[in-house]
Amino acid sequence: MSTINTVTQSLRAENDQEEPYKYAHLLPHLSQYHYPPLVPFQHIDPGLRALKHPDPRAFLKGAASVIELTPDLGTEVHGIRLTDLDHDARDQLALEVARRGLMVFRGQSDFIDQGPEAYLEWGCHFGRLHIHPASGHPKDYPQVHLVYKDANSTFNFERQDSITTTLWHSDVSYELQPPGLTTFFLLSQPTTGGDTLFSSQVSTLKKLSSPFVAFLRTLSAVHSGIEQANFSRSGKRGGVVRREPVEHVHPVVRRHPVTGEEALYVNRQFTRYIVGLKREESETILKFLYDHVDKSSDLQARVKWEPSTVVLWDNRVTAHSAIVDYGDSMERRHGARITPQAERPIPAWDGLALPNYDRSPAHHGSRL
């Protein structure tokens, strides 16, 4: 019996000692299959189709309530079943998520319980499904990224050498074509805690002075998956790396292909340095931008998880962080993410030139 299968079966056995777990078939599986590098593809955003619709918010007409979480970020919806949305309604959903950054749908047990085949069908509407290079997934469904932590194990990227578990990021921003609309839900959650923070990267950019934003538009930065891969190779998170890590250069300020809005696109977890600047210059600017995101509570929204909640966000215009404050409770937090990729980030300044190559560490040594 392989070590990988033993890990999955051990998780099931531990949980079955308590009571049969409804979502045991979605527990983390860590296959040793090695995937080739991702290849570029043409992404056509479904939100573009919704722009031509006479009422791009028609899919919300049957809602019991539509509540704006903050003026500029986040909408909570009650009374709409995601499983009922047809092709046009899903296009409208994509546009609304792009405009609001974040949408929270309550009462979605039918969506969650329909299983991984339906998750893939849902996600494919919004883009090519991403396979995470180093996380657990349900057996036979590598396109479903899992987060998992219980009393005995964790399959998450968690740093023990920090005074906080908050780590703002945009998912896998090191890919050449990072995610756009992303769907996430919890299958099991602690009694309290385990919330998720979101920040509007459109609003964080708007808070900065015009001359500084004009300067930022001229900059690009390296985003790297090396640290994440090394974390797994050290034996943590299950110890599997299924695709070699890559680094890519993205604009510091990107433009959304549907709304045209500009957003700050750097994050503590994956951005490493600004191209063309001296080390001290790069570190100073990035630290300022990270601190700006950290401290801007007026630009953030906090999602408190309830059973049967599905959250969608646009990774191109938001950042987020899990809050790991429930560890002492020894309770399980088990979530699934469906992560369609989108376009290569579009520079806000048309004159910004980006390299057309893969900065894989095998070919381009990392800057230390």
**pLDDT per residue as tens, the chain (368 positions):** 444 444 455 555 555 456 899 999 999 998 888 999 999 999 999 999 999 999 999 999 999 999 999 999 999 999 999 999 999 999 999 999 999 999 999 999 999 999 999 999 999 999 999 999 988 899 999 999 999 988 787 655 566 677 788 899 999 999 999 999 999 999 999 999 999 999 999 999 999 999 999 999 999 999 999 998 888 887 665 678 999 999 999 999 999 999 999 999 999 999 999 999 999 999 999 999 999 999 999 999 999 999 999 999 999 999 999 999 988 899 999 999 999 999 999 999 999 999 985 555 544 444 53
For the entire predicted model, the pTM comes to 0.91
- Cross-strand pairs, 200: 318
Query: Which three-class secondary structure state does DSSP give residue 190?
Result: coil
Buried b (16+ CB within 10 A) or exposed e, 175-203: bbbbbbbbbbbbbbbbeebbebbbbbbbb
Residue 8 has a pLDDT of 52
For 14-22, the CB contacts below 8 A with 24+ separation are 14/150, 14/152, 15/150, 15/332, 21/188, 22/187
Contact between residue 349 and residue 205 where contact means Cβ atoms under 8 Å apart: no
Torsion of CA 83, 131, 185, 260, to 10 degrees: -80
Residue 97 to residue 105: CA distance in whole angstroms: 12
Residue 32 has a pLDDT of 82
What's the half-sphere exposure (Cβ side, CA atoms, 13 Å) at 191? 4
The token pair at 32 is 């040793």
Residue 214 has a pLDDT of 98
> What order do you get walking across the sheet with 346-347 strand by strand?
262-264, 253-255, 346-347
Contact between residue 180 and residue 171 where contact means Cβ atoms under 8 Å apart: no
Residue 159 has a pLDDT of 64
Residue 355 to residue 351: CA distance in whole angstroms: 13
Residue 270 to residue 285: CA distance in whole angstroms: 15
Residue 18 has a pLDDT of 66
Residue 153 has a pLDDT of 73
Residue 285 to residue 221: CA distance in whole angstroms: 11
Residue 270 has a pLDDT of 97
- Cross-strand pairs, 105: 77, 310
Element (H, E) at 110: helix 109-113
The token pair at 105 is 């749908």
The token pair at 197 is 């923070």
Closest CA to 105 of 135, 131, 79, 123: 79
For 157-165, the CB contacts below 8 A with 24+ separation are 157/228, 157/231, 157/237, 157/269, 158/324, 165/321, 165/322, 165/323, 165/324, 165/325
Phi and psi at residue 56, to the nearest 5°: -65, -10
